[in-house]
Chains A and B, each alone.
Chain A
Amino acid sequence: MIEGAKWRRWVYFYIPLGAFIVWLLFPFYWMLVTSVRPDRELYRPWMAPNYAPFWTAHPTLVHVVDLLTETLFARWMLNTLFIAIVSTIISLFCGLLAGYALARLKFPFGGSLGTGIFITYLVPQTLLFIPLADIIRNFQLGDTPWALVLTYPTFLIPFCTWLLMGYFKAIPRELEECARIDGATRWKAMLYIIFPIAVPGILSAGIFAFTLSWNEFIYALVFLSSAEQKTVAVGVTSELVRGDVFYWGQLMAGALLGSIPVAFIYSFFVEYYVAGLTGSVKG
């Protein structure tokens, strides 16, 4: 809490936070205005006297309706959701177990294995997608969501593992040792003592993993081909950027509809992990 006069609260808190919010969210406001702006107002240069960037006198829902009826947007949302959820679960599962092992257990080659997992993250996607296409074909996964569900964890697991390692290391060893003295097995101590404490870490790793799978582009572009299988990012760009003409209204409506619902879902999680946490760790 900030002590002292009211102006200090403004200077040290409200103004900076406000500035952050404006900066981070303005592009979304811009998308909103663009998606309800009628086309005839769209192409106005910024020097024009009737340039009205922050509002429109004639808001229209025609772009949103177009997006939902003329394209398979709803379908793309479902696809993306499915792919993101499943690959997040896989990555969290792997990352949680591996992270705990690397942070807490002593075993031969532990350090180098940790580094090895990390190194895989260094391999650039632009190099990987071509050989990966080969594997996808061998497993006959092309044009199915599984192509992405199985490849996304390759860049999600290293991060989840390492982030969770960090959290595990911050949890005092004594907690576990107390439980073990009380007769719990290692496995149980991990499951019932350590993992619950690491919930904020798990959530932030989960948010990270979900988000990255939500907005991945190049694998989704290369591994999926039919329009019904596409994800939001690929579907929207391939339907709404036509030659040298962009369908700005629909494009921005797609961008908004493809991200705001996720933020709403996150708002529950964020609430949960903040509330569930305060004071649960005794240092």
Chain B
Amino acid sequence: MAISEAVNQRAFARAPRRGAATLLLEDERWLAAALLLPTVILLGLFIAYPFVEGVLLSVSNARVGIPGHFVGLANFTALLSDSIFRVAVWNTFVYTAVATVLKLALGLWLALLLNRHFRGKAFTRAFILLPFIIPTVLSTFAWKWMFDPTFSVINWTLFQFGLIHGRINWLGNPDLALISVIIVNVWRGVPFFAISLLAGLQTINPELQEAAAIDGAKPWQRFWHVTWPLLLPVTMVVMLFSIIQTFADFQLVYVLTGGGPANATQLFATYAYQVGVGTGLLSEGAAISLAMFPFLLIIVVVQLLYIRRVEVH
């Protein structure tokens, strides 16, 4: 519906009677249609079709090069008894939860630090973005080298400080492997949180802070009662997107551990890739990918409701 309206709209906008177009744009609905048109076209073209195709794949028994036929929910029921899938689900939740909490806490802290005046401020602000700028594959190679059991500079440093006596097998120990992967994810994500929250902090009027300070509020109270509520909308959006990205993370694990050792770092996306691309079972791979959907949807709906509630206030 938005599309057909928008198409009309365009015809009007191009017409010589500019007065009419302007008038039409005064109407909220027409303006909205015009503004949403490019987005709807692009997303419709490049997401809707592939997505439908993906859904169709997941309810078929297609393999690479073989279309297959409809099998209903067989791929999904098969997942229920798949032990690797269960491990991947659990890992993904732990990975997402821990990484997001850390990214938010550290990102907010860093944003507050960067919101101060100090020498080299612009430079620092730009350069702490580096972990976020660098292509994930390449930074993950560097981390791999730093975690390497034979060459780990981290081990060397800890050893020099006398904190450890033997080596830490960062990626070899199942628990540590997941922690290591989380460390790299947090490292990548904190700058983004920090800079987005910093931009949010910038839009907050300093006079509000000053007024609160004059009223005798302590720094912590000022943060909690003045800054944080104003920051919340941006925070929620940033978190929402970060959760989705973390939940569907692929590159990092693919390069760092390949899901090993013994699936200790296997995530949804890496397992979907392993099954769909590695073995050519496209339908099962698609089913695993789509199985993320309900989980994500629940998280997202809860957050969206929360955002609405916050905005009402």
Q: A: which residues have CB within 8 A of B?
A: 1-2, 13, 16-17, 20-21, 23-25, 27-28, 30-31, 34, 43-47, 51, 53, 90, 93-95, 97-98, 100-102, 105-110, 113, 115, 117-128, 130-132, 134-135, 150-151, 153-154, 157-159, 161-163, 165-167, 169-170, 185-187, 200-201, 203-204, 207-208, 211, 214-215, 217-218, 232-233, 236-237, 246, 248, 251-252, 254-255, 258-260, 262-264, 266-271, 273-274, 277-279, 281-283
Query: Closest residue of chain A to B41, judged by CB?
Result: A94
B223 at the interface (CB under 8 A from A): no
Other-chain contact of A131, B40, B50, B190, B233 (Cβ < 8 Å):
B50
Query: Closest residue of chain A to B268, judged by CB?
Result: A124
**B138 and A237 form a contact (CB under 8 A):** yes
Whole-angstrom CA separation of A260 from B54 in the bound complex: 38
Residues of A within 8 A of B110 (CB): 17, 20
CB proximity of A138 to chain B, nearest CB, Å: 10
Residues of A within 8 A of B250 (CB): 124-126, 218
Residues of B within 8 A of A94 (CB): 38-39, 42
**B156 and A53 form a contact (CB under 8 A):** yes
CB proximity of B233 to chain A, nearest CB, Å: 5
Residues of B within 8 A of A165 (CB): 237
B171 at the interface (CB under 8 A from A): no
Whole-angstrom CA separation of A276 from B27 in the bound complex: 32
Which among B32, B190, B234 has the greatest number of chain A C-beta atoms within 10 A? B32
Other-chain contact of A187, B22, B143, B153 (Cβ < 8 Å):
B22
B1-59: which have CB < 8 Å to A? 1-2, 22, 25-26, 28-29, 31-36, 38-40, 42-43, 45-51, 53-54, 57
Other-chain contact of A13, B116, B204, B241, B285 (Cβ < 8 Å):
B116
Chain A contact surface mostly: helix
**A236 and B187 form a contact (CB under 8 A):** no
B205 at the interface (CB under 8 A from A): yes
Chain B contact surface mostly: helix
The list of the 7 closest CB pairs from A to B, nearest first, reads A267-B126, A131-B50, A233-B135, A255-B138, A215-B135, A271-B122, A127-B289
**Can you list 26 contacts pairing A with B, beta carbon distance less than 8 Å?**
A1-B116, A13-B116, A24-B130, A24-B191, A45-B151, A46-B153, A46-B156, A94-B38, A98-B39, A117-B39, A120-B47, A122-B297, A123-B54, A126-B250, A126-B269, A126-B276, A154-B43, A170-B234, A201-B199, A207-B129, A211-B133, A237-B141, A255-B139, A255-B142, A283-B204, A283-B208
We find that the number of chain B residues with CB closer than 8 angstroms to chain A is 113
**A185 and B133 form a contact (CB under 8 A):** no
**B36 and A101 form a contact (CB under 8 A):** yes
Whole-angstrom CA separation of A214 from B136 in the bound complex: 10
Contact of A127 with B128 at beta-carbon distance under 8 Å, contacts A17-B113, A255-B142, A259-B134 already known = no
CB proximity of A194 to chain B, nearest CB, Å: 12
**A270 and B137 form a contact (CB under 8 A):** no
Whole-angstrom CA separation of A1 from B213 in the bound complex: 12
**B138 and A236 form a contact (CB under 8 A):** yes
**B130 and A170 form a contact (CB under 8 A):** no
Other-chain contact of B135, A2, A125, A232, A283 (Cβ < 8 Å):
A232
Other-chain contact of B205, A20, A110, A135, A282 (Cβ < 8 Å):
A282
Whole-angstrom CA separation of A269 from B191 in the bound complex: 15
B215 at the interface (CB under 8 A from A): no
Query: Closest residue of chain A to B295, judged by CB?
Result: A122
5 extra A-B contacts, CB within 8 A, seeds A46-B150, A122-B244, A248-B145: A31-B142, A105-B35, A128-B51, A157-B42, A207-B195
CB proximity of B139 to chain A, nearest CB, Å: 6
Whole-angstrom CA separation of A94 from B199 in the bound complex: 21
